[in-house]
Chains A and B, each alone.
Chain A
Amino acid sequence: MTDHVTSTAGKSQLLYAKSKVFLHLTKHKTGNVEGFLTITKRTASTSNKELAINFIPKSILNSEDVKTLEWFDLYGLDGEKEYSPYHEDANQTKQSSSNEPVKKAYITRPSNSSSTAYAFGVTIGSLYSIAVRPPSIHWKGSIILHSTLGERLPPIFFHDDECPGFKRELSRKRKQFQPFSENNLKGGEIPYWGGDRFITVLRKYAAVEANPAEKTILMINPTPSDLSTFIPQDAIERSNDKTSLFGQGKWKLLTTMAKLTNFTKNKVNEVAQNFEQPEVKAISEDFESARVYLAKWALSIEEEANRTRSKLILNDDYKSLLIEKLGKDFSSLVTPQDINNASRKDPLKKAEWDSYFDTNGLPKITIQEIKDRIFHGGVDPEIRPQVWPYLLQVYPWDVSTQEKHSLEITLQEQYLDLKTCWQTDINKRETDLFKDQKFRIEKDINRTDRDISIFKRLPEETSDDNEDVSVIKNPNLNTLRTILITYNELNANLGYVQGMNDLLSPLYYVIRDETIVFWSFVKFMDRMERNFVRDQSGMRLQMKTLNELTQFMLPEFYLHLEKCESNNLFFFFRMLLVWFKREFPYETILKLWEIFWTDYYSSQFHLFFALALLDKHSNTIINNLSRFDEVLKYFNDLSMTENDVDDLLMRAELLFLKFRSMVNVIDIKERYEGSAQLISSDLRDLIGTELVIQKENEPCSVE
C-alpha cells in the first residue's frame, strides 16, 4: 500500500483539477456524489510516478479549497487573459496552453477520516490503465482508473454541461478551430469532452498508450507485455452502464474480454499443447464422374478451403478452450430474445438526426454513436437524401453548413466538367471503345428496376423500343445513363460492368440530385470496385473469406455443405456482387445498404450477413437437402422480406461479436505458445473498419 496516496494532512500543489465530476452510486441522481478530479504534487521533489490522482468529494472539502479548485478548473492551465480584457497584468496570469499550471495553487490533502466518504486516489506509478468511455446522447462521459493492485474503483463521470471549466475549454478549442478530441480515441471522430483534457495533462507525466486490443483502454507507462495482454477484470465490470441499452453489446463484450485476463496470466500454460491435425481430405480429381459442375474458378476456392479446413474446423481442444473462456457469457449473448430486445431499433427520424448537429452543422455526438444508431435501426426514408451522402463520405462528418455549401459547389463544377468532357468531345464519341461502353450501359439501363415506379415503362414506350436501346424515354433512366457514362470517364480502367446499374439505381431513387447521386456512386464504387475487376480476384477473395468464415463459425453446417459438394458457396456470387440487391425487396435494400455503409463493426459486414443467411437456413438444409442442385436451387429461390433482414442483421451482429471474441482467445493462446497463425489475415481483416479497396489496373478495351 506504500504506493498509494496516504492521507497525511498537509498541502499539495495542484497540477490538474476538474469540477463537476461525479460518482454514480445508484441509477438515480440522488445517489450521485459530486467531487473534483485532481492531479497533485506533494513536494517539489515528488517524482512523476509519485504524483497523485484523486477523486475528492466536495462534501469533505473546506470552502477555501473548493474556491481554489474551482478557480484552477477555470484558469489553472490556460490563464485568465482572454477573459480579463481590462487587466493588463498579463505577466502575473500569463496565458498558456502548455497544460502546466500558470501559477502555484495548493489544496489540503484529504485527511484519514474522509476515506469513508468516497474519496479515493492512486499514484501514477500504481495506475495500470484507464478505461475511457466518451459521452453519448445516452450517458455522460466517464473514466475508470485501474490500479495495479486490481482494486475496484468506481467510474468517474464528467458532467460537462454543468462544468464552467469545461465550457471555457470548449470555447477556447472552438476558437482554435480544433473542435475535435486531441486524443483521437476513435480516429478523431469524437467531439471534445471533459475526459480529454485529463488524458492530455496525464500524458505530460506518464506514457499513455491505447491498448491494441481495445482502443478505449489506455495503458499507463505500459511494458510491452502489458500492451499485448488484456485489462484487469474487476474494474471494468463495474462500469457496465445497465441503464442504457445502447452499446450494451459492446460493453458486455468488454466484460467478456476482461474475464480473459486470468486466462492470459495464469491458465494459458495449462492448455493442452497437443493439437491433432485431422487428415486433409483428399481432393477428388475425378470431375467427369462428379454430379457437380466444377471449374477452375470454384475449384481454387475449394482447394484453398481444403487447405484451411483442417485448421479452421476447430478440434476439441480449441472447442473446449472457447467454451471454457466464452461459454458462460456467450450463452447470454446468443439468446435470440436478447438480441431481439437490444439490437434492432426504429429508424432514425428527422428530429433525432437534427439533434445530433449544432447550429453550425457540426456533430454534437460521436460519429460512432451516429453510426451505432443507424446500424441498429436504419434511417427513416424522409431523411435518407440527407444522411446517405454522409454515410458514403461525400461530405465529411465534421463539415460545417457553410463548408458543406462550398463543397457542394465544387462537386457540382467537377461533375459538370466530367460530363461535358464526353458530351461535347466528338472525337471521343466516335471511338469504338466509347460506343461499345455506351451500348453496354444502354442495354442494361433499359432493364434496370423497371418494376420501381420512377423507372416504369412509360405509356409511350413500347417493348419494341428495345430495338434501339439508345432511345431512353424515361427521364430517370436517362439520368442513370448519364451518370454511368460520366463515371466511366472518371474511372476509365474499370469500364462498365453489369451490376453497376444495380448499385446506382437505389442511390438515384433516394437522393435524386444528379450531382450528389454521381459522387455518392463514386464513393460507393470505391468499396465495390473490387467486385468488378477483370480477373475476378476481388470476388474470389470474398468467396474464399466467406468459406473460411463458415468453416470457423458454422463447422457442422460446413461439413454438410461439403457432403453436398456445395462448399464453394457458389450461390453467394450474386449476393456478394451487388450486396443482396436481387434477393430482397427494393425498400429493404435501402435499409440494408445504409447499415452496411456505417462500417460500424466491420467494413465487410456483408460477409457476416451472408454468414447469418447460412446460419439461418442451416438446419433446414442439413435435414432436407443432400444434393448440389438442391442446395443451389434452395438459395436461388429464397424470397426474402424486411422481417428476414432484421432477423439476419441480428444474427450477423451476434456472429460478428462471437467471431471477434474467438479470434481474441485464439490470438492469446498463439501468442503464448508461439504457434502458427490459425486465423488467416483475410479472416482477421474482417474485424477492421477500414475500407478494402481494390482498383482495376488494366485499361479497358472493346469487349
Chain B
Amino acid sequence: MARPSVQNKRSSQSLFTPIASKEADLKIVLLGESAVGKSSLVTRFASNAFDADKESTIGAAFIVKKYYVTDPETNEVKLINFQIWDTAGQERYQSLAPMYYRNASVAIIVFDLTDISSLTKAEFWIAELEAYNREEHKIQILLVGNKSDLSKNENDNQISETVERLKVPYFKTSAKEGTGVDELFKYIVDSIDDGIFVESRETLDLDQKSKKSSCC
C-alpha cells in the first residue's frame, strides 16, 4: 500500500480547503506523570505552538482537530476527526482515567526524558492498559519520551532497556521545538484501519449544496 502523504489543514487552508470523501473519528487519550508535557504535545499537534508557562491540566481537557490526508495514488482526501483527551497527571485524578481511555483507539503514554521517575509512572499506565486490552479491548499503546531538547541522554541506557522490555512503539519528542511530533501523529494516522472510514459529511454537505444551487 502506498504511503499517503499527510497534510495539515491549517497550513493549506488559505489556498485550498480539501473536500474529504471519507472520514473517521479517532479517539486518543494522553496519560502520564504530571509536568511531562502531555498538554504541550497536544498543543504542538493541534495548533503548532508552545507555551513554556502552560498551567497544569485539571481534570482533563478535550481537544478536537480535523486532519486531512491525501492518498498520492488515488488523490482521495480523507478526513480524520481527532478527539483528544488530555488528562491531568497527578495520581489523585487517576481514578478518573478509565472514563477517558474507555473507547479510546490510541493511548499516548508520555514521560519526561529528564525525569527517570516519570518512566515508572509510564510503565504503570502501560500495564493498566494492557490489562484492559486483555478484556477484549484493543487500545493501541504508544510510548513517548518528551523534552528531548533538555535531555543530555543521561538516562538513555535505562530508557532503552525499559522500552525493549515493554515492546510498545516508542517516540522521542520535543513539544517545545516540535521535533518528533509529526512522526508520532503520522504513525498514528498510518495505523488507522481503513474499515473505520465512512462517507464524509463534507461530501454530503457538498451534495446538498449543489442540489440547492441546481434547483434555484
Contacts and interface: CB of A to CB of B under 8 A. Distances in A.
B163 to A, nearest CB: 22
A632 B63 CA distance: 10
Interface string A230-259: 000000000000000000000000000000
A633 B65 CA distance: 11
B139 to A, nearest CB: 12
Contacts of B209: none
A532 interface: yes
A296 B53 contact: no
Interface residues of B, number: 34
A287 B100 CA distance: 13
Nearest to B35: A443
Interface in B78-100: 83, 85, 88-93, 95-96, 98-100
Interface string A464-491: 1011010000000000000000000000
Contacts of A457: 52-53
Given A574-B59, A629-B62, A498 B102 contact: no
Contacts, number: 98
A294 B99 contact: yes
A578 interface: yes
B95 A297 contact: yes
Query: Looking at A295, A573, A578, which has the most chain B CB atoms within 10 Å of its CB?
Result: A295
Contact of A293 (B27, B53, B89): B27
Given A294-B102, A574-B59, A633-B64, A450 B34 contact: no
Given A440-B90, A629-B62, A293 B55 contact: no
Contact of A297 (B27, B98, B104, B176): B98
Contacts of A499: 56, 58
Given A451-B53, A498-B34, A577-B59, A293 B88 contact: no
Nearest to A497: B92
A499 B34 CA distance: 12
Given A293-B104, A294-B102, A450-B53, A632 B62 contact: yes
Nearest to B99: A295
A667 to B, nearest CB: 35
B34 A440 contact: yes
B114 interface: yes
Contacts of B55: 447-450, 502, 582
Contacts of A534: 92
B210 interface: no
Contacts of A297: 95-96, 98-99
B88 A498 contact: yes
A636 B86 CA distance: 12
A463 B40 CA distance: 14
Nearest to A289: B103
B66 interface: no
Interface in B48-71: 52-62, 64
B61 A287 contact: no
A497 B91 CA distance: 9
Nearest to A494: B92
Given A632-B62, A636-B62, A498 B54 contact: no
B150 interface: yes
Contacts of A295: 96, 98-100, 102
Interface residues of A, number: 44
Contacts of A501: 56
A536 B96 contact: yes
Contact of A463 (B52, B56, B93, B102): B52
Contacts of A582: 55, 58
A44 interface: no
A494 to B, nearest CB: 10
A296 B98 CA distance: 8
Contacts of B102: 287, 293-295
A290 interface: yes
A298 interface: yes
A556 B104 CA distance: 31
Contact of A629 (B53, B83, B88): B83
Nearest to A578: B58
Nearest to B91: A703
Contacts of A703: 90-92
B90 A447 contact: no
A501 to B, nearest CB: 8
B103 A498 contact: no
A629 B64 contact: yes
A464 B150 contact: yes
Contacts of A298: 99
Interface of B: 27, 34-35, 52-62, 64, 83, 85, 88-93, 95-96, 98-100, 102-104, 114, 150, 176
Interface of A: 287-288, 290, 292-298, 440, 443-444, 447-451, 457, 463-464, 466-467, 469, 495, 497-499, 501-502, 532, 534-536, 573-574, 577-578, 582, 629, 632-633, 636, 703
Q: Please give me the 4 A-B residue pairs with the lowest Cβ-Cβ distance, nearest first.
A: A295-B99, A450-B53, A463-B52, A703-B91
